Amino acid sequence: MWLTGYVLNDKGRAVDKREVFVQQAGVRLLRAASVLTPHRAGPPRSAADRLGFKETGVSR
Protein backbone atom coordinates (compact mmCIF):
# COMPACT_ATOMS: atom_id res chain seq x y z
CA MET A 1 0.00 0.00 0.00
CA TRP A 2 1.36 3.43 -0.92
CA LEU A 3 0.97 6.30 1.55
CA THR A 4 1.32 9.87 0.36
CA GLY A 5 2.17 12.88 2.52
CA TYR A 6 3.21 16.45 1.90
CA VAL A 7 5.89 18.71 3.35
CA LEU A 8 4.30 21.99 4.41
CA ASN A 9 6.03 25.35 4.56
CA ASP A 10 5.55 27.82 7.42
CA LYS A 11 2.35 29.07 5.76
CA GLY A 12 0.87 25.58 5.60
CA ARG A 13 1.28 25.18 1.85
CA ALA A 14 2.53 21.93 0.33
CA VAL A 15 6.05 22.38 -1.00
CA ASP A 16 7.08 18.77 -1.52
CA LYS A 17 5.45 15.36 -1.83
CA ARG A 18 6.58 12.19 -0.05
CA GLU A 19 5.48 8.63 -0.79
CA VAL A 20 6.28 5.47 1.12
CA PHE A 21 5.33 1.86 0.49
CA VAL A 22 4.22 -0.12 3.54
CA GLN A 23 3.03 -3.66 4.02
CA GLN A 24 -0.64 -3.65 4.92
CA ALA A 25 -0.01 -6.15 7.74
CA GLY A 26 2.15 -3.53 9.50
CA VAL A 27 -0.39 -0.70 9.35
CA ARG A 28 -2.43 0.04 12.47
CA LEU A 29 -5.51 2.26 12.59
CA LEU A 30 -5.52 4.79 15.42
CA ARG A 31 -8.67 6.30 16.81
CA ALA A 32 -8.99 10.07 16.89
CA ALA A 33 -9.03 11.72 20.29
CA SER A 34 -12.56 11.91 21.65
CA VAL A 35 -11.95 15.37 23.12
CA LEU A 36 -10.49 18.20 21.10
CA THR A 37 -7.73 20.14 22.79
CA PRO A 38 -7.95 23.92 22.65
CA HIS A 39 -5.51 25.83 20.46
CA ARG A 40 -2.60 27.04 22.52
CA ALA A 41 -1.20 30.50 22.06
CA GLY A 42 2.41 30.88 21.05
CA PRO A 43 4.62 31.08 18.00
CA PRO A 44 3.60 29.00 14.98
CA ARG A 45 5.13 25.55 14.86
CA SER A 46 6.34 23.73 11.79
CA ALA A 47 4.31 20.85 10.38
CA ALA A 48 7.07 18.47 11.52
CA ASP A 49 6.75 19.78 15.09
CA ARG A 50 2.95 19.51 15.01
CA LEU A 51 3.17 15.91 13.77
CA GLY A 52 5.92 14.91 16.19
CA PHE A 53 8.67 14.20 13.65
CA LYS A 54 12.24 14.23 14.91
CA GLU A 55 15.29 15.50 13.03
CA THR A 56 17.29 12.53 11.71
CA GLY A 57 20.18 14.30 10.03
CA VAL A 58 19.47 12.33 6.85
CA SER A 59 19.11 14.28 3.64
CA ARG A 60 18.06 13.08 0.26
pLDDT in tens, 30-55: 877 666 566 566 666 666 666 666 65
Distance between CA atoms of residues 60 and 45, nearest Å: 23
Distance between CA atoms of residues 43 and 35, nearest Å: 23
Instruction: Evaluate whether 8 touches 47 at the Cβ level (below 8 Å).
Output: yes
Domain ranges in the chain? 1-27
Is the pLDDT at 17 greater than 60, yes or no? yes
- pLDDT class of 15 with cuts at 50, 70, 90: very high
pTM of the model as a whole: 0.41
